[in-house]
Amino acid sequence: MENTAQAGNGNETRKNKTRGLFKVSPYMVIPSRVGGFSLYLKQDDNLVLYAEKGELFTPAHKERLGTLDVDYLYVKAEDYSGYATYVQDNILELLDDETIPVRDRARAWNDATVSLARESFDKSLPKSMDKRRFRKIQALITNSLKFLAREDALKELGRFIADGGELFHHGIGTMVLTVSVLSTFVNEDSDLLVAVGVGAMLHDIGKLELPEELFTRRWDGLSHSEQEMVKSHPALGVGICSSLPLPQETLQCILFHHEREDGGGYPSGAIGELLPTYIKVLALCNQYDNLTRGSGGRKRLTPFEALTRIKSMRNAHDPDMLKRLITILSSAELT
């Protein structure tokens, strides 16, 4: 999402009028839906109320926007959670609407997903992951499968999901790549795609139980006991989600996302022939996203540099899955 807030001081009244605003595509106005947020137009530096919170959107709203040739509407920060919920509730209709440009659909998907993922990884909440949030993540991924399988959608999503250093950003990026690779050969099994997609998004949730600074330092700079703490995060993640109705595949994704084809991973050290294919895909996409995001105190690598690094690891990853990832990245012009 793009926050248009400007840092102001002194008498910068004109700038302060636009602080705490979020850009919203006019395509997000769906007739026959009620918005739990107010929408504004911006004329010069002034905000003009376009639709009031709780107002039913009508075809006339949509037609008026077309007449006015509006590029963006605006939602105030205090209403943003209502907007995110609105998009989450209507995401399937939005993603399937071919009259909406793919870029606008990708932005809407990113806004909805970031809002939900941030809430799920929020340490300040009494319980970051509960059944309600799990069901919402499950529904979001279910309704996104068709869109995520499109090359043009992945290309546009790449503009949004590549940045951000929070755990939930990494979860989103890993989930998109994992589902995209899996869709090349299990597209008939939507239940598996959803289960693995949820597991991919939540795979690092166990890190919430450990000191954050452990994950901002290089691996070779950690003591042996600190490395063992880091290695405990998959099991801790399963513990956090133990009260949720998770499919076996989701739990396996959380527990085994650091396994390697050559048996050099953790926590089980299982070799490739003992690992489910979706775990191999997740482990690969997890490492690729970590490398290109610059996680763990490392320099952020370009896609080419990250793929070169992964190839140099010889037997760490399934070569067929690596070829599929490279093909998808190339097709979506993300390399």
Q: How confident is the model at residue 12 (pLDDT cuts 50, 70, 90)?
A: very low
CATH number of the domain bearing residue 204:
1.10.3210.10
Q: 66 vs 247, which has greater pLDDT? A: 247
Residue 85 lies in a domain: no
Residues 65, 116, single domain; the answer is no
Helix axes 131-148, 151-161, angle to 10 degrees: 130
State the Cα–Cα distance between residues 86 and 22, nearest whole angstrom: 15
pLDDT (mean) for 243-268: 96
Residue 279 lies in a domain: yes
Asked whether the predicted pLDDT for residue 263 surpasses 80, the reply is yes
Q: Is 137 exposed, middle or buried (0-12, 13-18, 19+ CB in 10 A)?
A: buried
Residues 66, 114, single domain; the answer is no
Residue 239 lies in a domain: yes
Residues 134, 211, single domain; the answer is yes
pLDDT (mean) for 19-34: 89
The domain of 266 spans 90-331
Q: What is the pTM of this model?
A: 0.88
Q: Mapping DSSP to helix (H, G, I), strand (E, B) and coil, where does residue 36 land?
A: coil
147: CB partners within 8 A, 6+ apart: 95, 96, 105, 109, 153
Residues 283, 144, single domain; the answer is yes
State the Cα–Cα distance between residues 132 and 252, nearest whole angstrom: 21
Residue 84 lies in a domain: no
pLDDT (mean) for 16-21: 59
End-of-domain residue from the set 59, 79, 99: 79
Q: Report how many domains make up the chain.
A: 2
Residue 108 lies in a domain: yes
Q: 272 vs 19, which has greater pLDDT? A: 272
Asked whether the predicted pLDDT for residue 137 surpasses 70, the reply is yes
Residues 56, 119, single domain; the answer is no
State the Cα–Cα distance between residues 140 and 84, nearest whole angstrom: 12
State the Cα–Cα distance between residues 1 and 114, nearest whole angstrom: 8
Q: How many CB atoms lie within 10 A of CB 21?
A: 22
